[in-house]
Structure 1
Amino acid sequence: MVRAGARRTGTRKKRPFWVELPLLVGIALILALLIKTFLVQAFSIPSESMQNTLQKGDRVLVDKLTPWFGSEPERGEVVVFHDPDGWLDDVAVDPPNTVQKVLSFIGVMPSAEEKDLIKRVIGVAGDTVECVGDGPVKVNGKALDEPYVFPGNTPCSNDDKGTFKVTVPPGKLWVMGDHRQASADSRYHSDDRNKGMVPVDEVVGRAVVVAWPAGRWDTLPVPATFSAR
């Protein structure tokens, strides 16, 4: 006999794993999409233009959170950005297979349909960037010390596009690859609608870590030479 006021107790029946599995997968996908959209996204290095800092096929993690708080790219940072004006028009892209499409959807791999590039920020709004002969690159009249430039390369290229002096307008960036003689960067797109500059609005985020292959794990700090510009 149950006394008045006493509570009935019982054991909740546990759901079978096969019933919970779709829910768990759904939650995982939602979390992955939120992370990809607002926090961090993986990006695969598509070319040799950032050697030796980055090798073709490296996977880097891109910080997408900081720009949400109004922070803009700074000199020396390695950034991923959308193609500003046909920089990749002549670059062939292999169509992704089903696995790649799924992995890119959840952010593990970048989308093959997105035309993104990765370069180092050399100049920000208001900076005057110049190259004469083989270099060095100068920002606001001060020469950069660039140990990250690909061995055997010169900081500047002694050709029509490699010799320049520009002032970066508001809302724009001047970017260059670390493999200076193998990078079609701001120098070689001075005839586009942005005069070779990259709009800040086109920046996806800053590459902060080389995450894969495991043997190449490393951070991507801002070189000391940019601290006194």
Structure 2
Amino acid sequence: MTSDDRGSSSLSMDEEPRSSHVGDDVKGRKAGKPKRKQLPLWQETILLLGVALVLAIVIKTFFVQAFYIPSESMEPGLILNDRILIQKVSYWGGGEPERGDVVVFKDPGGWLPPEDSAGPTNPVAQVMAKIGLYPTGGHLVKRVIGVAGDTIECCDDQGRLMVNGKAIDETAFVRRGTGKCDGPMPTDGRCDEDWETGPIPEGHIFVMGDNRSRSADSSQKMCRPDETECVPGDEFVPVDLVVGKVFVLLWPADRFRWNTRPDVFEDVPDPS
């Protein structure tokens, strides 16, 4: 191949090769572009803390939040002072709690004593609660037994709750009361009488603690036949008050486990 064949790819003797880094100075920086000024350490620290704070608030608002178990009502699965995490993703876009979910919800009104509704009093704990790093007060944790349209009965001849006529075997996660059944009476925790509730109104759920004789739940809020000051419907929790679903028992570390919905609720028929 001749020099003519190489054409523009060849250089004359008088030409100097041009660098591919056009405009670079001897140190490799682009000409006319000043070096970026480094922030002082204290400013970087404040900036990182601000970003972390915003992320924590976003995570608490939309994804995950910490709570603790304030009573023995969810034994044996969750015991007093257990730390739990709830996730909110399952209830995005119109999603609602399902039978068997363990949920955290805001007090519908009068379910909790004043001392349990107050929340943390320490200023540091109050700030941490705001960003989801410390449990807040005024919330309850219970298991969803029925959803909109369901009818719940207590009990079959084996002491099991029935949802839409289907008996539920809750042996794996329920602690029965002194009456040896899974559905205590509203006030005394015994199974001397049968009861029935429902259909559950649209946009509401019926919840119970797993420790059936030691739980102030929907069964306790039902109106008994001889009560005159009871308000019918107070036993149902509005879905709008549900904060999220428990998905992990976080602390203590030796009790760490993932929380899942029991399979026994899968066979419950739809309300007729």
TM value normalised by structure 1:
0.89
Cα deviation, residue 9, structure 1? 4.9
Q: Distance in 1 between matches of 2:162 and 2:119?
A: 38
One-letter identity of the residue aligned with 1:61? L
Cα deviation, residue 132, structure 1? 3.4
Does the CA contact (< 8 Å) of 1:161 and 1:187 recur in 2? no
Cα deviation, residue 76, structure 1? 0.2
Deviating above 4 A after TM superposition, structure 1's stretches of 4 or more consecutive aligned residues are 90-95, 158-162
Does the CA contact (< 8 Å) of 2:69 and 2:79 recur in 1? yes
Q: Distance in 2 between matches of 1:81 and 1:174?
A: 12
One-letter identity of the residue aligned with 2:184? S
Cα deviation, residue 213, structure 1? 1.4
- The 1:89/1:126 distance shift into structure 2, 3 A limit, reads same
Percent of aligned pairs sharing the same letter? 46
What do the CA deviations read for 1:32-53 (whole angstroms, capped 9, x no partner)? Answer: 0011011110111111000011
Residue pairs, 1:151-190, within 5 angstroms: 154-157=181-184, 163-167=194-198, 168-190=200-222
Q: Distance in 2 between matches of 1:94 and 1:81?
A: 14
TM value normalised by structure 2:
0.75
What RMSD, in angstroms, separates the aligned Cα atoms of the two structures? 2.2
Residue pairs, 1:91-106, within 5 angstroms: 91-92=115-116, 93=118, 95-106=120-131
Q: Distance in 1 between matches of 2:232 and 2:58?
A: 33
Among 144, 149, 155, the alignment partner of 1:132 is 155
One-letter identity of the residue aligned with 1:57? N
Does the CA contact (< 8 Å) of 2:155 and 2:162 recur in 1? no
- The 1:84/1:223 distance shift into structure 2, 3 A limit, reads same
Q: SS at the partner of 1:33? A: helix
Q: Which of 1 and 2 has higher RCO (CA within 8 Å, sep 6+)?
A: 1
What do the CA deviations read for 1:52-82 (whole angstroms, capped 9, x no partner)? Answer: 1101111111112332221000000000011
- The 1:157/1:71 distance shift into structure 2, 3 A limit, reads same
Cα deviation, residue 150, structure 1? 1.9
One-letter identity of the residue aligned with 1:169? P
- The 1:142/1:86 distance shift into structure 2, 3 A limit, reads same
- The structure having more radius of gyration, on CA atoms, is 2
Among 200, 203, 218, the alignment partner of 2:242 is 203
Q: Distance in 1 between matches of 2:140 and 2:84?
A: 12
Q: SS at the partner of 1:165? A: strand
Does the CA contact (< 8 Å) of 2:100 and 2:143 recur in 1? yes
Count of aligned pairs between the two proteins: 223
- The 1:138/1:129 distance shift into structure 2, 3 A limit, reads same
One-letter identity of the residue aligned with 1:66? S
Residue pairs, 1:1-229, within 5 angstroms: 6=23, 7-89=31-113, 91-92=115-116, 93=118, 95-112=120-137, 115-132=138-155, 135-146=159-170, 147-150=172-175, 154-157=181-184, 163-167=194-198, 168-190=200-222, 191-192=230-231, 194-229=233-268
Which range moved further: 149-158 or 168-177? 149-158
Q: SS at the partner of 2:181? A: coil
What do the CA deviations read for 1:124-156 (whole angstroms, capped 9, x no partner)? Answer: 111110113882111111111112012666312
Gaps of 5+ in 2: 1-21, 24-30, 223-229
